[in-house]
Structure 1
């Protein structure tokens, strides 16, 4: 599966509402939609200029919706699904965020920390529509870069 538009991605993120994921270590349940918004909001606070990192945090849960039984492969599949639309960096961050072996970079650490904190943080992270412009910006930047190559 390959996502072709921001609208298609927004639809998937909206569909995550009411889909629950169980954290493997603690058994805590989290709504994927809320988790995505909180993760992205935390990244916006800590790295306000890094739109690609924020978008990686926002979209990484869609794999759990699309491939619910594939716990081992959903990050890889999500990375593949968004690469054409959102670019190589967003794809790489999604693919590697849960594999924090060596080498570890600051982006992956930030993403992983925000994801963990986003599971339990109790704050209003806004609404998905607030992220449309950021998604469109990252998609447009990726489209321009792809056209240059």
Structure 2
């Protein structure tokens, strides 16, 4: 599945409510919707100017909805779904966020750290609608870059 619009992506992110991922390395299972919001909020706090990194944090957990029952395919499925809309950098971060290699990649390290930390139940990370403008910005930037190629 390839997402064609921010609206489709927002719908998918809303659909993450009530869906649970497998236990993380340090903590138990989490609601994917809250986990996405918490991960993106942590990245926004740490890297306020890096909208693509924040968006990667927001969308990194959509894989279970796209390929249920195939945990190994979740990162690649999510990356494939967002590549055309959000660009290659976001797709690469989403695809590789669980891999243990590339220790020199600061962006992947930041995403992995936020992914593990964003598993606290009851933390107020805002609402998904707060991210619509950022998603629109990243999608528009990607669209302009794609038109240049």
TM-score bucket of the superposed structures, by smaller chain = over 0.9
Give yes or no for the alignment of 1:76 onto 2:76: yes
Tell which deviates more after alignment, 11-20 or 22-31: 22-31
Runs of 4+ residues deviating >3 angstroms: 24-27
TM-score, normalised to structure 2, is 0.95
Cα offset for 1:118? 0.3
- RMSD (Å), alpha carbons: 1.4
Ranges in structure 2 where 5+ consecutive residues have no aligned partner: none
Give 1:1-149 correspondences, 5 Å limit: 1-23=1-23, 25=25, 28-120=28-120, 122-149=122-149
8 A contact 1:100–1:108 mirrored in 2: no
Q: SS of the counterpart of 1:30?
A: coil
Q: Is 119-128 or 130-139 further displaced after alignment? A: 119-128
Distance 1:70 1:110, change over 3 A: same
CA distance in 1 between counterparts of 2:31 and 2:130 reads 18
CA distance in 1, matches of 2:37, 2:47: 15
Matched positions, count: 149
Tell me the CA shift for residue 67 of structure 1.
Answer: 1.3
